Amino acid sequence: MGSSTEHVLAVVRRQILAGDRSPGDKISEVGVAADLDVSRTPARTALAALEAEGLIEKRDGRGFTIKSISVADVEKAIQVRAVLEGLAARTLAENGMSPETETLLRGSIAMSQEILETEAPEIDYIGRYQEANRVFHETIMQRCGNELVGHAFERIALLPMTALGTLAFDQTTLERQRMRLTVGHSQHVIIMDALLKRDGQRAERMMIEHSNATLNYGQLFVENGDGVACRAQDPAKPCRRGGHGHGAALD
Amino acid sequence: MGSSTEHVLAVVRRQILAGDRSPGDKISEVGVAADLDVSRTPARTALAALEAEGLIEKRDGRGFTIKSISVADVEKAIQVRAVLEGLAARTLAENGMSPETETLLRGSIAMSQEILETEAPEIDYIGRYQEANRVFHETIMQRCGNELVGHAFERIALLPMTALGTLAFDQTTLERQRMRLTVGHSQHVIIMDALLKRDGQRAERMMIEHSNATLNYGQLFVENGDGVACRAQDPAKPCRRGGHGHGAALD
DNA sequence: AATCCGCATTTCGGATACAAAGTTAAGCGA
DNA sequence: TCGCTTAACTTTGTATCCGAAATGCGGATT
């Protein structure tokens, strides 16, 4: 049963993530209530949830605003994710995997490998790889035996993480993207090996490196200097999210 | 001006943490609304917040229940806290402290040292040490330059952390408590040294050790074997929170 | 002309009302 | 006695209404 609150939450979240609502824009209960033709009550609930997710922030007396996000924010989110995923990997290695977990991880790796081994990849191979990648990380997070890790991660940095998805694949040639993916895949294999050997420290170290790599390797492969310039500690400089998927992120 | 929602939130949270509401108890909108003589609206908001804090959990059609907490849960929470605090310490070391931050940390250390150097301590010296300890950790968390760390921590494990407070100081003699505190203080000093020398890795390693120590050292100093027995991986076994301060935690 | 005071509009938080869905329990019938 | 059905109560989700607080604007006064 799709409740009205969930509907509002999903729609507004998609609007924000898609860029239909720009950073800095005001959002109010009455606004979304009128927009989606619902009462103010579910609108209020949804806005509260959005604030908990970090997508919007509350101004004192004047509604909510779409949170502006800077490259520095993305870096911070990645660092938090890295240590949390590292803990998840270590915990999973120390506790051992269940057969189902092992099946899921092996499946993800097999799919990634198949995609990367294809000589003439279809145009959507990046999307398929991202799916396999998501399975790998989500499986480790959610089945590591410490549900608080996943719980902490869910509540944090939904927006920076999404921005990251559009960020990493911009301004690179297809060949470079393929290289990036290959490197990432190799790290998955190494992490899997550490998990199977119950080597918690190695699993943790590699996972942290792998998670941080999402941004670092992207910078390594960016041809011009924009990435580095954008990396400079300038929290005030907003990194606008592209409104159409692969937009002008990391400008 | 305390809004009604905040009031309900504070009262119910205190009730749960104080043990006035036992784990497994049902809690509903109408119940707290009638209890505190407010409408269902703030009661619902408060309950949603409590769920986000992890103090209660929602059952399908049967209201909320106070979350049972096991020693395993406390361990999980501590591990998450450890990596988050480790990240905070590393970040702070790498970015450098502001003068105000340094003042706060030095103040905390000075206060701890003064307390520990007192030969005949007053009876409340543990409370005062805990305050200094709180300042130390909170300062690093909140002023490390990555607000997402603190944000992640706030949302997680309020209950396990409070349980920890009552847990660590039970069933130990005054002399052993003093030893524990001295060890913790020495670690604070070492972390402070690493921070000043901008040694991020050392700061992170020591902070992780220090955070994990909260439980480990407590076990080391427990005389009888109950602590170890309780540590066994038995998530089903609830660790009831004592209703009167230093109750029968870690039974 | 500038500043201050006051009113109106906007917006949020809380309360009550209403409707739907699910669970439990009790009663009835086989 | 057991099972099924129904009815009532609990719980939840949504809508509408009202009050309070804040901001912005406009007018009046110095």
Query: What CATH number corresponds to the domain at position B28?
Result: 1.10.10.10
Chain A residues touching B83 at Cβ < 8 A:
83-84, 86-87
Q: Which residues of B218-240 are buried (b: 16+ CB within 10 A; e: fewer)?
A: beebbeeeebeebeeeeeeebbb
Give, in Å, how far the C1' of D4 lies from the CA of B101. 71
Give, in Å, how far the C1' of D6 lies from the CA of A115. 59
Looking at the predicted structure, is the pLDDT value of residue A234 above 80?
no
Angle at CA of residue B82, ends B78 and B88, nearest 5°: 140
A155 touches chain B (CB under 8 A): yes
Per 3-state DSSP, chain B is made up of helix, strand and coil in percentages (nearest 5) of 70, 5, 30
The whole-number pLDDT of residue B142 equals 92
Q: Who contacts B110 (Cβ-Cβ below 8 Å, separation ≥6)?
A: none
Give, in Å, how far the C1' of D22 lies from the CA of A19. 30
The whole-number pLDDT of residue B140 equals 96
Cβ within 8 Å, pair B83-A86: yes
The whole-number pLDDT of residue B224 equals 38
Do B189 and B91 share a structural domain? yes
For residue A212, being part of any structural domain is answered with: yes
Chain A residues touching B147 at Cβ < 8 A:
76
Computed over every residue of chain A, the mean pLDDT equals 78
Do B107 and B226 share a structural domain? yes
Do B193 and B159 share a structural domain? yes
The whole-number pLDDT of residue B216 equals 59
Cβ within 8 Å, pair B80-A146: yes
The enclosing H or E element of A20 equals none
Chain A residues touching B1 at Cβ < 8 A:
none
Among A66, A85, A105, residue at a domain's last position: A66
For residue A124, being part of any structural domain is answered with: yes
Do B203 and B167 share a structural domain? yes
Among B21, B48, B66, residue at a domain's last position: B66
Q: Find which nucleotide's C1' atom is closest to B42's CA.
A: C14
Cβ within 8 Å, pair A80-B48: no
Cβ within 8 Å, pair A148-B45: no
Is strand D less than 7 A from the beta carbon of B29? yes
For residue B77, being part of any structural domain is answered with: yes
Do B217 and B148 share a structural domain? yes
Out of A177-181, B92-96, B188-192, B224-228, pick the least confident: B224-228
For residue B246, being part of any structural domain is answered with: no
Do B212 and B113 share a structural domain? yes
Do B207 and B174 share a structural domain? yes
A161 touches chain B (CB under 8 A): no
The single-letter DSSP state of residue A63 is -
Do A172 and A149 share a structural domain? yes
For residue A248, being part of any structural domain is answered with: no
Query: How far, in Å, CA of A81 to CA of A77, rounded?
Result: 6
Cβ within 8 Å, pair B152-A155: yes
Chain B residues touching A96 at Cβ < 8 A:
none
Query: How far, in Å, CA of B29 to CA of B45, rounded?
Result: 9
The whole-number pLDDT of residue A206 equals 96
Print the domain residue range for B203. 71-231
Out of A12-16, A125-129, A243-247, pick the least confident: A243-247
Is strand D less than 7 A from the beta carbon of B57? no
For residue A251, being part of any structural domain is answered with: no
Do A111 and A22 share a structural domain? no
The whole-number pLDDT of residue A210 equals 93
Cβ within 8 Å, pair B148-A156: yes
Residue A193 to residues A87, A149, B153, B222, Cα–Cα distance (Å): 16, 22, 31, 38
Do B92 and B206 share a structural domain? yes
Confidence band, pLDDT 50/70/90 cuts, at residue A71 = confident
Phi, psi of B69 (to 5 degrees): -130, 130
Query: How far, in Å, CA of A79 to CA of A97, rounded?
Result: 25
Give, in Å, how far the C1' of C26 lies from the CA of B61. 21
Do A78 and A46 share a structural domain? no
Total domains in chain A come to 2
For residue B124, being part of any structural domain is answered with: yes
Minimal-distance CA residue of chain A relative to B155: A152
Give, in Å, how far the C1' of D6 lies from the CA of B243. 44
B142 touches chain A (CB under 8 A): no
CATH number of the domain enclosing A178:
1.20.120.530
Cβ within 8 Å, pair A148-B155: no
Task: Find residues 9-48 of chain B whose CB sits inside 8 Å of chain A.
Answer: 45, 48
The whole-number pLDDT of residue A166 equals 54
Cβ within 8 Å, pair B80-A54: no
For residue B94, being part of any structural domain is answered with: yes
Q: Find which nucleotide's C1' atom is closest to B27's CA.
A: D11
Question: Chain C: nucleotides under 7 Å from a protein CB?
Answer: 10-17, 21-24
Query: How far, in Å, CA of A105 to CA of A215, rounded?
Result: 23
Minimal-distance CA residue of chain A relative to B75: A146
Percentage with pLDDT > 70 across chain B: 75
Contact indicator for A67, A24 with CB cutoff of 8 Å: no
Three-state secondary-structure class, residue B129: helix
The whole-number pLDDT of residue A160 equals 67
Query: How far, in Å, CA of B121 to CA of B108, rounded?
Result: 18
Is strand D less than 7 A from the beta carbon of A40? yes
Is strand D less than 7 A from the beta carbon of B244? no
Do A137 and A82 share a structural domain? yes
The whole-number pLDDT of residue A221 equals 43
